[in-house]
Amino acid sequence: MNSTMERGAVRVSEAVSAALSAGRPVVALESTIFSRLGLPSPANSEAMRRCMAAIRKEGAEPAVTAILDGTARVGLEPGEEERILAGTRKVAERDVAVAVAQDLAVGVTTVSASVALAHAAGIEVFATGGIGGVHRGAEVTGDISADLDALANHPVITVCAGAKAFLDLARTLEYLETIGVPVLGWQHDWFPAFYVRSSGLPVPHRVDSAPVVADVLRSRMRERTGVLLTVPIPPADELDEAALSGALAAALAACEAEHITGAAVTPFVLARIEEQTAGASVPANLALAENNASVAAAVAAALCGAETPATQP
């Protein structure tokens, strides 16, 4: 794969291109979580460092997705990390073409854009914190994240800690069933709720090893459809469910009072939850993102036929 593709196409970094050419495992990463729109500084920088280190520890190559200087990028070159950390423009899948056409200097990618760019580069595994989903009140607003459509239309395994806790998780699971996306629980029987290990909703299918996850992707009935692998936050990093419930209610009330809608909801609510939990949500976010990256690397290794400690049950 050429790491210096023509402008307007996806450009793959030298390290990621070399890994793909050699048949080594690669894990795509979104860049929103590493920007000012994802986690406050310096936690965003720590998140990038920990996620990339977790992937490399399993023998895989991390591939951060972004828009830089009007080019869709998969993988960063040395020295480009700081541009991502300072990013303030979010780019979803629908926005990629506009960002390229308008020569956007820095665009940080959401789940939908990252999944699409991963697929375009030939990467089959993507790790993130939590996906978007069906928003509360969607029966009135129609607010359903483009993340779900991307999962249904790109053959990529998305590894996450469930959907953002402030979403309508039951309807999100229903929607994923409707669009035909297999939902798996990593060594767990319950759909995670981001900061807590269980939403109280059963996950459709439990899986206990990375090779099984890889086989699910290979055996899917629809060639274009991806797989959602949900990984609960490590037990030691889980937030208190009662305290989180109160913080979430306060954040959603503030969101409604200030008439926050659309793409602005996620950063607003996450910032309010951080405030309401006295900052406890940030270390939890770091822990789950790192854990997801590690599991994703094990799955990527399984797809390549490689063995790592994390591929075992």
Catalytic residue annotation: 30, 164
Burial of 130 (0-12, 13-18, 19+ CB in 10 A): buried
3-class DSSP assignment, residue 50: helix
- φ, ψ for residue 124, nearest 5 deg: -105, -5
**b/e per residue 28-41 (b: at least 16 CB within 10 A):** bbbbbbbbbbbbee
CA–CA dist 284, 276 (Å, integer): 14
The answer to whether the bond into 192 is cis (omega within 30° of 0) is no
Which region, left, alpha or beta, applies to residue 141 given φ > 0 means left and ψ of -120 to 50 means alpha? alpha
CA–CA distance from 190 to each of 63, 178, 184 (Å)? 29, 19, 9
Q: Are strands 106-109 and 61-68 parallel, antiparallel or unpaired?
A: antiparallel
Q: Are strands 71-74 and 61-68 parallel, antiparallel or unpaired?
A: antiparallel
* Cα distance from N-terminal residue to C-terminal residue, the chain: 33
DSSP track, 256-296: HHTT--GGGHHHHHHHHHHHHTTTTHHHHHHHHHHHHHHHH
The number of beta carbons lying within 10 Å of the beta carbon of residue 172 is: 27
Q: Scanning the structure block, which residue is given the tokens 């048949």?
A: 23
